């Protein structure tokens, strides 16, 4: 059973989310104040598997909570879904840059939100499976796409793929957290090296080159319009 923390000050929304999540067998905790949520997260209560955060909250806003979760040892790898009434791309990017894994804007379709929750829950299961059994952390793999980070080599369906250093860094970044939306700002920081200046436009160029070299797996790198990119965790050729 997963433990979901909802931090939302609109009771109608939190009640709706709680009812839907309870039907999945999840344990659900609802808190309406940001500062209270931070205190609860740091208490000795049961670990939380998934966070659903409203962006605009009394006490402490969702962005600050998100940043804390990414610094706090117990929660730094836990999935975060941000719910926001702010719909401009730059506002959504701000939330993702703060550490959110995904976002949904108000008003939302509950079926869409629950689909996002299921996707993030699969990441919870993936993280737990890694923690419960020994694994070669140098190997990243999604179906027939494989990276050996020790050798800095990439294989697709058994054939080695020649990537530039920037393309390789981007693919590693994506495959370390499949399904996570990465903003262009985050990707710039991942491939920035030395005095070479990397821009948003440069990222788009590298993504184009990466997709071309991935051939039948090109669609595994998904564009999130106006926001950035991610590697699909449910990719099908």
pLDDT in tens, 115-160: 989 888 876 666 565 555 445 568 888 888 999 988 889 999 989 9
The C-alpha atoms of residue 150 and residue 29 are separated, in whole angstroms, by: 42
- For 76-110, how does the pLDDT look when each residue is reduced to its tens digit (9 = 90+)? 888 999 998 888 888 888 889 888 999 999 889 99
Return the minimum-mean-pLDDT range out of 32-36, 42-46, 65-69, 86-90: 42-46
- For 172-196, how does the pLDDT look when each residue is reduced to its tens digit (9 = 90+)? 999 888 888 888 888 888 877 644 4
- For 153-166, how does the pLDDT look when each residue is reduced to its tens digit (9 = 90+)? 999 998 999 999 88
110 and 20 Cβ atoms separated by less than 8 Å: yes
Q: Which position has the token pair 């923390």?
A: 5
HSE value, Cβ hemisphere, 13 Å, CA-based, for 213? 19
Phi, psi of 85 (to 5 degrees): -90, -5
Taking phi first (over 0 means left), then psi (-120 to 50 degrees means alpha), and beta for anything else, what does residue 31 get? Answer: beta
The C-alpha atoms of residue 231 and residue 171 are separated, in whole angstroms, by: 8
The pLDDT-based confidence of 214 (bands split at 50, 70, 90) is very high
Does the domain spanning 3-132 belong to CATH 3.40.50.2300?
yes
Domain locations in the chain? 3-132, 139-231
Strand partners, 160: 155
Residue 144 corresponds to which tokens in the numbers above? Answer: 């027939």
Question: What is the second-level CATH architecture of the domain 139-231?
Answer: Orthogonal Bundle (1.10)
């Amino acid at each position: 059973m997963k433990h979901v923390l909802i931090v939302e000050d609109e009771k109608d929304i939190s009640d709706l989310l709680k009812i839907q999540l309870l039907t999945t067998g999840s344990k659900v905790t609802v808190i309406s104040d940001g500062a209270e949520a931070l205190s609860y997260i740091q208490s000795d209560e049961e670990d939380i598997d998934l966070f659903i955060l409203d962006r605009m909250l009394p006490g402490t806003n969702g962005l600050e909570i998100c940043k804390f979760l990414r610094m706090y040892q117990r929660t730094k790898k836990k999935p975060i879904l941000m719910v926001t009434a702010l719909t401009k791309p730059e506002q959504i990017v701000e939330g993702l840059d703060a550490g959110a894994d995904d976002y949904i804007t108000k008003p939302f379709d509950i079926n869409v939100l629950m689909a996002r929750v299921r996707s993030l829950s699969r990441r919870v299961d993936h993280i737990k499976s890694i923690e419960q059994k020994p694994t070669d952390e140098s190997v990243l793999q999604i179906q027939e796409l494989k990276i050996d980070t020790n050798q800095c080599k990439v294989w697709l369906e058994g054939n080695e793929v020649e990537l530039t250093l920037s393309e390789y860094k981007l693919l590693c970044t994506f495959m370390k957290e499949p399904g996570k939306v990465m903003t262009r700002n985050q990707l710039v920081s991942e491939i920035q090296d030395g005095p070479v200046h990397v821009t948003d436009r440069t990222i788009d160029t590298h993504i184009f080159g990466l997709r071309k070299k991935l051939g039948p797996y090109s669609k595994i790198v998904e564009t999130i319009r106006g926001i950035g990119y991610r590697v699909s965790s449910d990719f099908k050729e």
